[in-house]
Amino acid sequence: MPFLSPFRPRALLVSLLLPVLAAAAPQNCAGCHEDSVHAQAFAASVHQDLACTACHEPSAQAVPAPGCASGFTPMDCARCHEQQAAEHTKSVHNGKRLPVACWQCHQDIHTLGSVKEDRLATAKVCASCHEHQDEYFQSVHGEALAKGNADAPGCVDCHGTHSVQAVDNDGPGRSLHTSACIGCHADSTRMAASDVEVVAAETFLHSFHGKNVRLGHAETVAGCADCHGSHGVWPRDDARSTVHEANKVETCRQCHAGASASFVRYLPHADDRDSASSPALYWTRVAMTALLVGTFIFFWAHSLLWAFRSFIERESKAKAAHGAAHAATVPPNRSYRRFQRKHILLHVVVVVSFLTLALTGLPLKFAGTAWGHAIAEFFGGPDRARFLHHSAALVTFGWFMVAVVGSVRFLWTGRGKPGGWMARLLGPDSLFPTMRDWRDFSAMVKWFAFRGPKPSFERWTYWEKFDFLAVFWGMFAIGGSGLMLWFPEFFARLLPGWVFNVATIIHSDEALLATGFIFTVHFFNTHFRPEKFPMDTVIFNGRVSHEEMLEERGDQYRRYVDEGRLEDFVDERPKRLLWEFSYRIFGLVAVALGLGLALLMVFTLLGGGH
């Protein structure tokens, strides 16, 4: 028979030598092997164009069989099927646990037909070894494939053909629990042909589980197959389905040992864009988006106007003359104490914990970005990042309690301040908003518009009070939702599971608001405005110069003068150069990290980075 193999030159050479070998042999191959090789069946097989010696290659080293002109090397499919053989070598079927040779799937190569276009036949081949495949043939996938649905998945669609990988629960094979399903269910064209929604794939990838998968750590979370099953997939209203109402608790308990009937009311595929199916999530998203957009528009506009107006004033000669006039009336280098050491230490703890929360939390929110993946890997993966995130959260709860205790002591013990608690609450040393703050804000806006002088402030400005009170809101929103997501089984005893969907939106968006605000607005208010750039060091050394006191907190200065207490706040301690150097480096690193994260977030939200 002619040899028309396009695969290897070596096989072609052997086929050219075949007439010589045949002439020397008393009879051809079929003459001896007609009991196992039927010419008609072979002519209908995929190997019909191959000569016998394409697979049974002559060898000068092998001992010839009786009646043959030559001996033959052992049959090796890799001679022609190099790529398939290479894939098989690295597959689970080439291991010690599941050694599978080519012939075990492809059986008799003399009668082998093509199964490339017959995925049902391929599935039956797999089923010859994998008994649990019976479950597959009864599933929605198997039934659809049997009915001729071209988009229904067969075994090779999920597992591959020759490069079949392990699907172990602890190793890299865990990714198949999700990737095999997402590959089809995210394809809108294929799903539309089968009347299946793609929302399941979309919503999963935006969930906690899906984001860990996107970060490359599918082994740490549940994938599609863990909840819906792998081979036995049935509609959720089928009693056999793992997501049937009667089976949900047991399904969730595979990972969440404390799962309850209330816990499984969590909506793993809820769509917060659909007001009809998920109204609570939809309106939560609308409210958080409005809060985000409104806050940033207002404060970014405030910062831009301030930057422009401050730059103009800084360049004016009147301000230079004003500063010179005051400089002549006070001792050189005089400064006043603004913060005590405990305040400085508390601020350092706040900075470290906040940056840790941002660096370990934002990669999960932006899991689809290269930078999110890089930061998560820097910390050793999502699990370690989550451990650091929880640790920083505990530190945050700690310093928040210190702030609460300090506020209570200020109000009820007085700490040297005259009057009752109401007088202290509304007094000039309090961080509680008063009508004065509204007047200061109005005066500031007029100054922005060149319609009045810059206001003179007391001990606390209106933007500093906003920052302080925002902590209380943030702890309620971020801290409360974070605790719910950290201990869902416990809170499910008190709340229905869908509340965790709401908590996820609040925690995510409020964290975005907090980080965006701190890294842009707060950084500008304290470091980047022209009169402070590149850094305001008061929170690290605790003191302000005489010129700063008059320029920024003139009313506080005059109050201390009127009360005869100004000298109590004079700070004449010499500078400690090592501390000065250390805190400046610390501050610059913190600011650089914050600005870097802010730029990455803005870039991503504007449509880049994915």
Residue-wise over 296-334: b if at least 16 C-beta within 10 A, else e? Answer: beebeebbeebeebbeebeeeeeeeeeeeeeeeeeeeee
Q: How far apart are the first and last CA of the chain?
A: 57
Residues 534 and 528: their CA atoms lie apart, in Å, by 6
Per-residue pLDDT tens over the stretch 454-470: 999 999 999 999 999 99
pLDDT at 524 over 90: yes
Q: How many CB atoms lie within 10 A of CB 559?
A: 16
Higher pLDDT, 72 or 116: 72
Q: Mean pLDDT over residues 99-128, rounded? A: 80
- Residue bearing tokens 């001896």: 32
**What are the distances in angstroms from CA 65 to CA 7, 26, 60, 188, 570?**
27, 12, 12, 59, 109
Identify the pLDDT of residue 350.
97
Per-residue pLDDT tens over the stretch 347-372: 999 999 999 999 999 999 999 999 99
Per-residue pLDDT tens over the stretch 379-431: 999 999 999 999 999 999 999 999 999 999 998 876 555 678 898 999 999 99
Per-residue pLDDT tens over the stretch 120-167: 888 888 888 887 677 899 999 999 999 988 888 988 888 888 888 888
- Residue among 456, 528, 606, 548 nearest 303 (CA): 528
Identify the pLDDT of residue 315.
73
For residue 337, what is the enclosing H or E element? strand 335-337
Q: What is the mean pLDDT of the chain?
A: 87
Residues 223 and 173: their CA atoms lie apart, in Å, by 11
Residue-wise over 117-135: b if at least 16 C-beta within 10 A, else e? Answer: eebbebbebbbeebeebeb
Q: Mean pLDDT over residues 513-541, rounded? A: 94
Please state which of the ranges 103-107, 326-330, 538-542, 573-577 shows the lowest mean pLDDT.
326-330
- Residue bearing tokens 């945050």: 396
Q: Mean pLDDT over residues 546-565, rounded? A: 94
- Residue bearing tokens 């649990």: 132
Q: Mean pLDDT over residues 556-560, rounded? A: 96
**What are the distances in angstroms from CA 433 to CA 51, 169, 437?**
93, 55, 6
Identify the pLDDT of residue 416.
53
Diameter of the chain measured on Cα atoms: 127
Per-residue pLDDT tens over the stretch 482-498: 999 999 999 999 999 99
- Residue among 528, 429, 11 nearest 3 (CA): 11
Q: Coil, helix or strand for 41?
A: helix
Identify the pLDDT of residue 80.
87
- Residue among 348, 378, 346 nearest 362 (CA): 378
Per-residue pLDDT tens over the stretch 275-298: 998 999 999 999 999 999 999 999
Identify the pLDDT of residue 28.
66
pLDDT at 310 over 60: yes
- Are 267 and 498 within 8 A, CB to CB? yes
Domain residue spans of the chain: 1-114, 120-244, 279-294+335-605
Identify the pLDDT of residue 543.
93
Q: What percent of the chain has pLDDT over 70?
A: 89
Identify the pLDDT of residue 331.
66
Q: Coil, helix or strand for 335?
A: strand
Q: How many CB atoms lie within 10 A of CB 37?
A: 15
Q: What percent of the chain has pLDDT over 90?
A: 57
Token pair for 237: 């209203």
Identify the pLDDT of residue 95.
76
CA atoms within 13 A on the CB side of 429: 17
Identify the pLDDT of residue 21.
43
Q: Coil, helix or strand for 328?
A: coil
Helix intervals (H) in 34-81 = 39-43, 52-55
- Are 388 and 379 within 8 A, CB to CB? yes
Identify the pLDDT of residue 3.
36
DSSP per-residue string spanning 180-229? HHHHHHT-HHHHHHTT--SHHHHHHHTSHHHHHHHTT-GGGS--HHHHH-
Q: How many CB atoms lie within 10 A of CB 167?
A: 19
pLDDT at 609 over 60: no
pLDDT at 23 over 50: no
- Residue among 585, 597, 588 nearest 358 (CA): 597
Q: How many CB atoms lie within 10 A of CB 404?
A: 13
Q: Mean pLDDT over residues 511-527, rounded? A: 96
- Residue bearing tokens 């009313």: 555
Domain spanning 279-294+335-605: CATH superfamily? Transmembrane di-heme cytochromes, Chain C (1.20.950.20)
272, burial (CB in 10 Å: exposed 0-12, middle 13-18, buried 19+): buried
Per-residue pLDDT tens over the stretch 565-605: 999 999 988 888 898 999 999 999 999 999 999 999 999 99
pLDDT at 20 over 60: no
Residues 282 and 300: their CA atoms lie apart, in Å, by 27
DSSP per-residue string spanning 258-280? T--TTGGGS-TT--TT-TTT-HH
Confidence of residue 53 (pLDDT cuts 50, 70, 90): confident
Residues 6+ apart with CB under 8 A from 433: 462, 465, 469
Token pair for 456: 């003179």
Identify the pLDDT of residue 138.
92
Confidence of residue 608 (pLDDT cuts 50, 70, 90): low
Identify the pLDDT of residue 199.
86
